[in-house]
Amino acid sequence: MRILGLSLLIPGLLGAAALHTALESSAPSDGDSLEAPPTEVRLEYTTDVQLDLSRVRVLGPAGEWAVEGLRYLAEDRHDVLVASLPVDQPSGAYRVLWTTAGPDGHAIHGEFEYEATGSLGIQEAQAPQDSLESEPLDSVESEAEAPTQGAQGPEDTASSLPAGDPNAGRGATGARWLFYMGIVAVLGSLSFRYLVLPQVLRGGELPEVGRGANHRLWRIAGLGVLALLVSAPPRLFYQVRSLYASEDEVPLSAFFQIAGAGPWGKGWLLGAACALLIGMGVLLARPRGERAPGWAVMALGALFLPLSPVLSGHAWSRSPQVLAAVADFVHVVAAGTWVGGLLCLLFAGLPALRAHGVKEGSGQPGLPGLVSAFSRVAIASVALLVLTGSVNTWLHLESFSQLWTTPWGRALIAKLAVVAGVLGLGFYNWRFVRPALDETPRAGLLKAPATVELGLGIAALVLTAFLVVRPL
């Protein structure tokens, strides 16, 4: 608990380290009254944005005007988008609706309005673009009159999480949670097979237990692959819908465009590829999940699997990026090893001991060694979780007060409360249950507290999924 408290204090002690994507300014600005319709709209953001995940719509007196091109302002200005407009726009009121995504791939939306009091001649509309690119953003706004009194600026009209955004709904959270459960099941089965079982079976003792445990671990890994594959399509669907939230229909081409576009798309593709590779390993390990080549293929896929949530989550947008990515990668591996290992202990290790011929309620000689082996792995995983969790909290929060003043911070507090419960039960199992097993090796002493600990761990994954699908 002291370590957990320290992880909460670090953000306040070290100060701000995060910068959130939001619209900083636009040309025209919200509420501007122009002498003639502009030939382009410029949007400047607080961070770099992803061009492939950006859209701009302009609604005018005659309906929607087609944006003739969307580009960056310059090669070194990926924080400014420029949308070219037709030259034959009439005078009247215009409304601009924009969608983009920051480095973390989360969609943000906004809108603003301006008015053109006159028409723009064809010769005037064909001003050289090179001269416009060389001018500062503010200079383009010099021709516009001051915003009308009471008009809202871009930051007021821009919404980083608009009402009804599907990417923040239950469906997106559920798909992300299923994705995390798949990762936990795969990493847990592999860590249990390679880190826990060898300690128990050293010296050739209890070989039947090893065979039975491997078969059950193989099943858990197969269920994990199934969860990864099933969660992939809805994750892509909700990501696409979040970027097309202002439109009634989503073109089929959008799914192919976003799959692989930017860090989020690359992370999604990597996760799907790793799931297929691990699934191939599961098939190769048949019929009883003992064949070593199959497990080696699974391990190869699992080695790259944690990179998928790193690329498709908040870590990729944090600075310093390398530190954020490494901390998130280790955090995922540690969580999978701990929670997934506990899952395997309950549904693979203990059943294998029972199947070895020892009846429930009687002494089980191999039980203390199995629990001790898992405890050593779990303690190391918890230490890494606390360390990387502290780093992630520092990088994600700009100030300590955001823990209770923002919806994201309050959700983080709820997650930390659940994690504190998991840590408490883990400490109880390590400090009291494990020593008791040396005197009375009965699985009944462990099952109840370990099951509650696993349930809280799964609840923490639900809250993690909720946090990740929401922009900071």
pLDDT tens-digit readout, 410-438:
777 888 888 888 888 878 877 887 777 77
Q: Which of 131, 173, 208 is nearest to 411 (CA)?
A: 173
For the cut 90, the answer to whether the pLDDT of residue 269 exceeds it is: yes
Note the pLDDT of residue 472: 60
What is the token pair recorded at 102? 């920051």
pLDDT per residue as tens digits for the range 325-346: 999 999 999 999 999 999 999 9
Of the pLDDT bands very low, low, confident and very high (cuts 50, 70, 90), residue 260 is confident
Q: Quick one: fold of 21-157?
A: Immunoglobulin-like (2.60.40)
413 within 8 A of 400, measured Cβ to Cβ: no
Of the pLDDT bands very low, low, confident and very high (cuts 50, 70, 90), residue 449 is confident
For the cut 50, the answer to whether the pLDDT of residue 128 exceeds it is: no
Q: For the chain, how big is the Rg over CA atoms in Å?
A: 27
pTM of this prediction? 0.77
For the cut 90, the answer to whether the pLDDT of residue 386 exceeds it is: no
Q: Distance between CA atoms of 167 and 107, rounded to whole angstroms?
A: 8
Note the pLDDT of residue 137: 40
pLDDT per residue as tens digits for the range 392-406: 878 777 667 777 777
Least confident of 62-76, 159-173, 232-246: 159-173
H or E, element range at 187: helix 170-191
Note the pLDDT of residue 327: 92
Longest dimension (CA), the chain: 94
Q: Distance between CA atoms of 20 and 103, rounded to whole angstroms?
A: 10
Domain ranges in the chain are 21-157, 166-469
Which whole number is the average pLDDT over 34-53? 88
Q: Which residue has the higher pLDDT, 415 or 361?
A: 415
For the cut 80, the answer to whether the pLDDT of residue 107 exceeds it is: yes
343 within 8 A of 397, measured Cβ to Cβ: no
In sequence order, what DSSP letters do the residues of 138-171 get, joined into one string?
HHHGGGSPPPPTT---HHHH-BSS-TT-GGGSHH
Note the pLDDT of residue 142: 36
DSSP code, position 36: S
Residue 353 CA neighbour count, 13 Å, CB half: 25
For the cut 70, the answer to whether the pLDDT of residue 132 exceeds it is: no
Of the pLDDT bands very low, low, confident and very high (cuts 50, 70, 90), residue 278 is very high
Q: Distance between CA atoms of 455 and 453, rounded to whole angstroms?
A: 5
Q: Distance between CA atoms of 278 and 285, rounded to whole angstroms?
A: 11
For the cut 60, the answer to whether the pLDDT of residue 302 exceeds it is: yes
**Chain-wide mean pLDDT for the chain?**
78
Contacts of 264 (CB under 8 A, 6+ apart): 53, 101, 104, 105, 239, 258, 311, 312
